[in-house]
Amino acid sequence: MSTAHTTLPYRFVAIEGNIGAGKTTLSRMIAEQYNCRLILEEFSDNPFLPFFYENPERYAFPVELFFMTERHKQLQSELAQTDLFQQGIVSDYFFLKTLLFANNNLQDEEYRLFQRLFHILNANFPKPDLLVYLHRPVDQLLINIKKRGRDFEKDITPASLNPFNRLILNFLKQIRNYPC
């Protein structure tokens, strides 16, 4: 890839996709090519994540709540900053992902509460100017997940990846006025 920087025609680009789709890799490439500020999801700090993979029913609510608050805090801080030398921002996640994963992982009552909290946090939150969705077949996702070797992801199954694929595709089908 060339090191010459051109101007990214969007102020804020979010890359979204399932676990192992290549979001971070693409985000890094775009940030380098266009000299953008890079926002990477900070998932490793979630103390509930290893427990969630072992017992999803018990740990779904705390894992999703932690992700939501951390994503919100990170995006709010990063998007408020201005940089004279880096005009664009590229992120390897979209805040709405929080609600999609919660819809997939939480029981009905927990999801209703989570949804209320999400809408409060999301009310005046900036939306990306461009949303890019990376779709990969589940077998490729599993290969990518295995390659990166994160211990807490070793037990991810196709059954846990398929629902998010369906949720995000359904969400994308409903969008009418969004630059995707």
Q: How many other C-beta atoms lie within 10 A of the C-beta of residue 102?
A: 23
Residue (of 63, 115, 72, 79) closest to 95 by Cα position: 72
- Structural contact between residues 88 and 6, judged by C-beta atoms closer than 8 angstroms: no
- Structural contact between residues 20 and 142, judged by C-beta atoms closer than 8 angstroms: yes
Catalytic residue among 45, 83, 92, 155: 92
Three-class secondary structure of residue 147 per DSSP: helix
Active site residue 155: no
Rounded to whole angstroms, what are the CA distances from 14 to 128, 132, 147, 159?
6, 6, 24, 26
The catalytic residue positions are 92
